[in-house]
Amino acid sequence: MEGETNADTLPVLEARLEQAQLLKKVVDAIKDLVQDCNFDCNDSGIALQAMDNSHVALVSMMLKSESFSPFRCDRNIALGINLTSLQKVLRCAQNEDILTLKAEDAPDVVNMVFESADSDRLSEYDIKLMDIDQEHLGIPDTEYAATINMPSSEFQRICRDLTALSESVSIECTKEGVKFACNGDIGSGAVTLRSHTDVEKPDRNVEINLSEPVALTFSLKYLVNFCKASGLSDSVRLCLSNEVPLLVEYALSNNSYLRFYLAPKVSPL
Amino acid sequence: MEGETNADTLPVLEARLEQAQLLKKVVDAIKDLVQDCNFDCNDSGIALQAMDNSHVALVSMMLKSESFSPFRCDRNIALGINLTSLQKVLRCAQNEDILTLKAEDAPDVVNMVFESADSDRLSEYDIKLMDIDQEHLGIPDTEYAATINMPSSEFQRICRDLTALSESVSIECTKEGVKFACNGDIGSGAVTLRSHTDVEKPDRNVEINLSEPVALTFSLKYLVNFCKASGLSDSVRLCLSNEVPLLVEYALSNNSYLRFYLAPKVSPL
DNA sequence: CGGCTTGCTA
DNA sequence: TAGCAAGCCG
């Protein structure tokens, strides 16, 4: 009997994240693109997919169950959350806090508990949930013509720098390297990175895998936005094919990831 | 004869404060609550008492004569000062400056001199005084049902965090701990601190003295305002009794202090 | 890693 | 003028 009583109150979802920071950074990185979205929870982890308002960009986050310890999700549930509210609550976490997410079956709220490392402080928040029409998008598992791995800080720097000159950037990839170029009223700019690997400084590596040359143009505003995720990973992967959205991927531990897709600009040539 | 001449110009008040910073921080902390007020000077020190415009909060500052070196006040005088003016002048002090306050008998102005520590810089300001009707308030020396000592930074953090969710907070104190809880449109939040003392980190201690459990609700806006005084002291003391204003006290050296009182919200139960 | 100071935006 | 955010320093 005690078991049953316990089962009644046992949340359907219970996920403990050693670093509340991780979720905080994810939300900081996406909340300018997406206002409200579902966190889809099942036994494999917590996933989020959403398009930005103008339907040019798409965010796809996957936090695998292995990124939590422990992780339990007895039923598939979708937590519809306003990201501004979530961000407000995550700001209440201290940097080293441990976060536990909990939700009941058919929940009205998601419960978030922050524990200080030494456990003498416990903060608990409930965020009200909302019903969100899920436009779940099957993202085809594309074979990309070009894949670039580079330091995320370098990509961020390039995007920021070029923003000073233009609203869009062309990314041109050959076997030898990748060229970010733009053209604007005050002049033009281009940053070229050569493919190189250095065993001494692996975090500075630029690796290029290419089956055919690619050249595409993208909105810098969005790319700069994606780069807010730089704090999540030292490196970023860019995947391109002609006439297909760019994939910008930040890999996290345990095969978790944060991905952004961005449709190319139709070039007026 | 020379002595008499000298006596004519000798100020009635002369108070030298090693850290101009102290007064600057005090004024910064209270000037959003109070615009104009009297600094009551007598041989025991300089005191200030004022209610905020809405008569919900009360500020009480006491700078004991021992906090000055030297301190001399030959007659009781009240210096009616506009705090915005005072703040402007105090901004002219550099961080390590020494401040000397001077006033004549029945003064029109208060004179403030800032000396740099190495004495190669001297600034002098006169602030015009104003007549302020003194509504001097006898504050009863209450025995509180609950007294909490905690790091001032932690109290500040809690008040700021909860502001994201609501305009008011309930403070609930039991022997085991103190719980700050609130409820708002986006959800609810609660921070619980356990009473604990750690000889290693005394500045992290949370000490609770309680004669009976207390639960009261207060405006977060005011509490956040009080917390501007956090820079004056590493710890803060909260004193609560049911149906009595909360006392938030920042203790300074030499038994000087800055105290805030805040009437509880009438709970709509 | 945390706190503080400065600058920017509302 | 006040509140929020980013960058720098300890």
- Per-residue pLDDT of A246-255, as tens digits, reads 999 999 999 9
Query: What's this model's pTM, rounded to 2 decimal places?
Result: 0.92
Give chain B's domain count. 2
**Where residue B178 sits, what CATH number does that domain have?**
3.70.10.10
Closest CA to B149 of B200, B203, B207, B192: B207
Residue A118 lies in a domain: yes
pLDDT above 70 as % of chain B: 96
Among residues B128, B154, B176, the one where a domain terminates is B128
Cβ-Cβ pairs closer than 8 A, A with B, add up to 53
Nearest to B161 among A92, A122, A128 (CB): A92
What would the two tokens of residue B34 be? 């109070």
Instruction: Quick: pLDDT tens for B140-178.
Output: 888 999 999 999 989 999 999 999 999 999 999 998 899
- Alpha-carbon distance A77 to A111, whole Å? 14
**Where residue B93 sits, what CATH number does that domain have?**
3.10.150.10
pLDDT at A117: 77
Instruction: Quick: pLDDT tens for A29-48.
Output: 998 899 899 999 999 999 99
Among residues B99, B128, B157, the one where a domain terminates is B128
How far A110 CA sits from the closest chain B CA (Å)? 9
Residue B4 lies in a domain: no
How far A85 CA sits from the closest chain B CA (Å)? 6
Within this chain, do residues B110 and B42 fall inside the same structural domain, yes or no? yes
Within this chain, do residues A86 and A191 fall inside the same structural domain, yes or no? no
Mean pLDDT of the A1-17 span: 70
B5 pLDDT exceeds 80? no
Within this chain, do residues A197 and A160 fall inside the same structural domain, yes or no? yes
Instruction: Quick: pLDDT tens for B73-93.
Output: 999 999 999 998 999 898 888
Going along chain B, which residue ranges are E strands?
A: 13-17, 36-42, 45-51, 57-64, 71-73, 77-82, 98-103, 109-115, 122-128, 146-151, 168-173, 177-183, 187-194, 207-210, 214-219, 235-240, 246-251, 257-262
Residue A6 lies in a domain: no
A124–B189 C-beta distance less than 8 A: yes
CA of B173 to C1' of D6 (A): 37
- Whether omega before B202 lies within 30 degrees of 0, making that bond cis, reads no
Residue B236 lies in a domain: yes
Residue A37 lies in a domain: yes
Within this chain, do residues A124 and A158 fall inside the same structural domain, yes or no? no
Instruction: Quick: pLDDT tens for A176-227.
Output: 899 999 999 889 999 999 998 988 877 789 999 999 999 999 999 899 889 9
Which residue of A lies nearest to B176 if distances are taken between CA atoms? Answer: A120
Residue B237 lies in a domain: yes
Within this chain, do residues A59 and A89 fall inside the same structural domain, yes or no? yes
Within this chain, do residues B197 and B155 fall inside the same structural domain, yes or no? yes
Residue A205 lies in a domain: yes
Among residues A128, A160, A175, the one where a domain terminates is A128
Domain that holds residue A68: 13-128
